[in-house]
Structures are given as structure tokens and as C-alpha cells.
Amino acid sequence: MEEAGKTTRRQLLSTIGMLGGSALMYNMMTTLGYAAESHFKGPPNLSGARKGASVIVLGAGLAGMLAAYELTKAGYKVTVLEYQDRAGGRNWSLYGGDTLTEMGGATQKVGFAEGNFLNPGPWRIPHHHRTLLHYCKAFNVELQPFIQFNHNAYVHNTDAFGGKPQRFKALAADFEGNVAELLSKAIDQKGLDASVTAEDAARLKEALREWGMLDKDMKYAKNLLSSEHRGFDRSPGGGVGGAPSPSEVFALKDVLDSKIWKNMSFFMNEEFQTTMFQPVGGMGMIGKAFAREVQPLITYNAKVTKIDQGKKGVAVTYTDTGTGKVTEAKADWCVCTIPLTVLSQIENNMSEKMNAAIAAVPYSNSVKIGLEMKRRFWEEDAAIYGGHSFTNQEISLISYPNNNFFKDGPAVLLGAFASGMGGYHLAGMTPEERIEAALAQGSVFHPESYRKEFSNGASVAWNRVPWILGCCARWTEETRAAHYQDLVALDGRVVLAGEHASYVGCWMEGALLSSLDAITRLHKRALEA
């Protein structure tokens, strides 16, 4: 029984969900251990498949291709059916010359220069996503650092500083400095006597002085000391005029109006801590590397319309999206990685519990917009190399490219990563309107250059992508309690895999971990059968 007067994790998550929306609640779920560091201990040791045993894998995303790869190694005959004309699923990069058509018929032809790209789905890899890193190494995917945290990027809030963005480092330094000064006053006024000993109080004051860059009087003020964190008005130089001058600190009210603590805590979320990685040449390089390992097994343009399992096997009916030809494929077992939004519309004879679980999980939406600029003005004019600038506008942030630093010529920055109501609003626009919105909102960071240097752009609104109809699965604590174990259970001869079948939702790591778990249990059942 829960203790009276204590807030439970369930109550906390419900409150966070009401106040901050699903994205914030997911971040807190991560913090509370619902989506944590990878459980990967190495590739599965599957062997001894019965002679002639076969498996149909539905979907050639990362989960499906990993299942096909490991089951083939174990001795199974594997067939992969993929709706699209490419492998990778949400592991996807858009390059110049690519064409995409969304629901509603709007078509975009990407005009990026050679070598430039937009990652519409995943775009960064945490250092502790060991499954993905293992297979990237095994399949020769070259990785480079993804610059997640940049002190020199901007934070913008329409309700602070007259709507003018400020450098992250200045806001963060002033928040820490003011908090340090206030806490030191509480110590002097005996406000913490019930919590700390006199010795610890003295040590805490010294820690606050160093952490908050406080002066000898324990004040946070305009001086060279505080400027070492927040930046100088005139930086230290050489020669006769080399003396630095300190910068003016912001008033506490303005700092609080900016809500900088949200951005500071963002980088402390375990999933977003350094070091992070990205593939050289675009995130889609991972999907291409997986596909090279299982290419002969994949049938493309295969739209699954029916999954029918019996006591001795599984029959999957699919239609060739190009010719209209209908085919029935049969196997002993089935690994289904089709997103739940689509799977819920496919005729099947799985159990009532499984279908209830499939129907219970909604998918979030997000919109990503890539803007190709004629030059790297964020580097040349603002000394920003990678990282994100945040805003409370619908676009949420802009993210600067992490490759080809100091190069001349065009480059693509991420002009929006919108979720929640902002994401749905942008998704309801035409592709041209989304670009205009991204330019209008992003100009707040670089008003002199944003429109002037713009060349072309592309956008992906995930709830308008026909092969998934959303971004990723959004479990709640209640739906997990009611349906998660039913969703991941081996249902007769069918087992599901994908990020939706994991506690690392919305990440490639979750898809891979769920795949390994699913095929390990399937293999055990197959041997017992």
C-alpha cells in the first residue's frame, strides 16, 4: 500500500502529462527508469534450427532486418516483406533528387546539393545504445560525433527579453549564479540548519561560490569572474588593448522568464547526454548497411493485407504495389514489425488480447524541416558549430549540422523539430507553408541571414507518412500495465517487434532490443515444437 502523503511515480507522471504534454512525460519516464540504458549483452546465440524451418518477417526496418539476419545465421529460411521500395523504415535520409509524396497527395522533390541531407526520423545515437553501436561496427557503418550540447547556441522565449534570443551560456550562468547567491543567503540566515551540519554548511557555501562564480561577498554580479561562464563583453585579447571587459548580468526575473532551466535539464536527460553519434553521410546509412546483409531475402513493394496463422504455420497475403499481383507467402513462424498504426488495419486472426494491445497504443506526431542555406552563416557570423538553439515557438528548435565544419558552399540545418500541438499545426500545412513558417520562426535567431541565405527546403510530417501514420508509439503507464505484456507475447506463431515493443520507445535501440528478444523466444518455442 502507498504511504499517505507521498507522491507516487504514477501520480507524478500523470501531473507531468497534464502540464507538459506527452513529450515531456516521455522524458520523465526515461528519467524514472522506464526507458533507460541498453540491456544489450551481445548478439544472441541462436543455433540448431530444425531442418527446413522457415520464418516470414514483415517489415524491413531495423527490427525486421536484424531478425532476418540473426535467424538466417541460426539456420532458418527467411523471407522479408517490405511495403516500400527501400529498406530502413524510419532510419531514413533525404538527399537531393529524392521525391516524397505524403497523404493528401502533396509531393516534394528534394533540391539539396550533393552530399547534403535531412534525417526525417532518428538523427542521433546515445553512447549507451550498445545494440545499435555493436551492429554499426559489425556492418562497417562509419560514425562521427553528434554535437548535442553547445553553450554558444541560443535560447529564445517570446515572453523574455522582448522576444530577443540570448546565448545559452549567459542564461545558464546567470541562473546558476542567482541560485547560488540565494542559497548562500539561506545558509547565512540559518535556513538550512535543520538539513545540514555547520561543517557541511561551510563546505556548501564554498561549493556555491565556485559553482555560481560568486565574488568574495557571495554576490553574483557583473565582473570578470561571472564573465568566465557567461561570456565577456570584450573577450581577452593580446597586446595593448588585450584587457577583457565583463558583460552585464541579466536580472533574475528575466532569467526566470526565459525558463532556461528546461533547456539545462534537457541535456541532463540520460538519452541526451554526451557522447552522441551520427553516421557519416546521413542516418540512412545504417539502414543501407543492414540491408546489404539481408538484401536477397527482401521482397519490396509488398503491401501486407492479411495474416492468417494456423496450428502448423502462418500464411501472409500481400499485394505488389506496382503490378497489383496478389501473392500468399507461407512459413512456420512470423516476426511482425509493422507499425501498430498500420497493423491495426490489417486483417488477422491473432488473439483478442493481442489485437486489443495493438489498438491501444497511439502514435505521436512530429514534423522535421530541413533548410538548405547558401553558406554556413551560423559558423561564420555567430561561431556556432553544431548543437541546438531552442525556442518556445512551434518549430521548437533549430539544429546546426555536425559535419563539414568551415566548408564553403551550401549546408542543411534542421529548421524545425516540432511535436505536440505545434507539430500537428505544421503537419496541417502544405509543404510550402511549412517552409515559410520555419523561415519566419527561425529568423529570430539569425535575422540578418536566415531568409537572405535560404536556398530550398523539405519537410516530413510523420502523421502524413502513409507507411506509418505517425512518428512512434506513445505508451502511458496505464496502457503498459494493461497491454504491454500481451503485445510482446508470442501469439501462436506470430511475435511482434519494433520500438513499440520496448521500453526504449522512439529510439532505434528499442527496435533492435525488441527484435533480439522476440527472435530468442521464437527460436526457443520453435525448438520445443
Q: Tell me, what DSSP letter sits at residue 122?
A: -
Q: How far apart are CA 482 and CA 495, in angstroms?
A: 18
Give me the pLDDT at residue 279, please. Answer: 98
Q: How many helices (H) and strands (E) does the chain have?
A: 17, 23
Q: Tell me, what DSSP letter sits at residue 306?
A: E
Give me the pLDDT at residue 190, please. Answer: 84
- The CA-based angle 174-177-180, given to 5 degrees, is 150
Cross-strand partners of 117: 95
H or E element in which residue 429 lies? none
Asked if 47 and 74 touch (Cβ cutoff 8 Å), the reply is yes
- The CA-based angle 72-76-77, given to 5 degrees, is 90
H or E element in which residue 190 lies? none
- The CA-based angle 119-116-461, given to 5 degrees, is 30
Give me the pLDDT at residue 216, please. Answer: 94
Alpha carbon 190 to chain centroid, angstroms = 45
Give me the pLDDT at residue 114, please. Answer: 97
Is the sign of the CA dihedral 226, 228, 233, 236 positive or negative?
Answer: positive
- The CA-based angle 361-365-370, given to 5 degrees, is 150
- One-letter identity of residue 3: E
Asked if 61 and 337 touch (Cβ cutoff 8 Å), the reply is yes
Instruction: State the DSSP string of 341-385.
Output: HHHTTSEE---HHHHHHHHH--B--EEEEEEEESS-HHHHTT---
Instruction: State the DSSP string of 237-287.
Output: -SSTT---BPPPPPPHHHHHHHTHHHHHHHTTSGGGPSPEEEETT-THHHH
- One-letter identity of residue 150: N
Say whether 312 sits in a helix, a strand or coil: coil
Q: How far apart are CA 214 and CA 225, in angstroms?
A: 7
Say whether 134 sits in a helix, a strand or coil: helix
Place of cell 521464437: 522
Nearest to 493 by CA among 297, 306, 312: 312
Instruction: Please report, in angstroms and rounded to a whole number, the separation of the first and last CA atoms in the chain.
Output: 42
- The CA-based angle 125-129-132, given to 5 degrees, is 80
Domains of the chain: residue spans and CATH: 54-86+289-362+476-528 (3.50.50.60), 94-152+273-282+364-464 (3.90.660.10), 167-255 (1.20.1440.240)
Assessment of whether the complete model's pTM goes beyond 0.85: yes
Say whether 94 sits in a helix, a strand or coil: strand
Q: What is the mean pLDDT of each run of 10 residues along the chain (529 residues)?
A: 40 42 43 56 90 97 98 97 98 97 97 98 96 98 97 97 97 96 90 84 94 96 96 95 96 96 92 95 98 98 98 97 98 98 98 98 97 98 98 98 97 97 97 98 98 98 97 96 98 98 96 98 95
Give me the pLDDT at residue 529, please. Answer: 85
Asked if 277 and 457 touch (Cβ cutoff 8 Å), the reply is no
Give me the pLDDT at residue 37, please. Answer: 62
- The CA-based angle 84-88-89, given to 5 degrees, is 60
- One-letter identity of residue 506: C
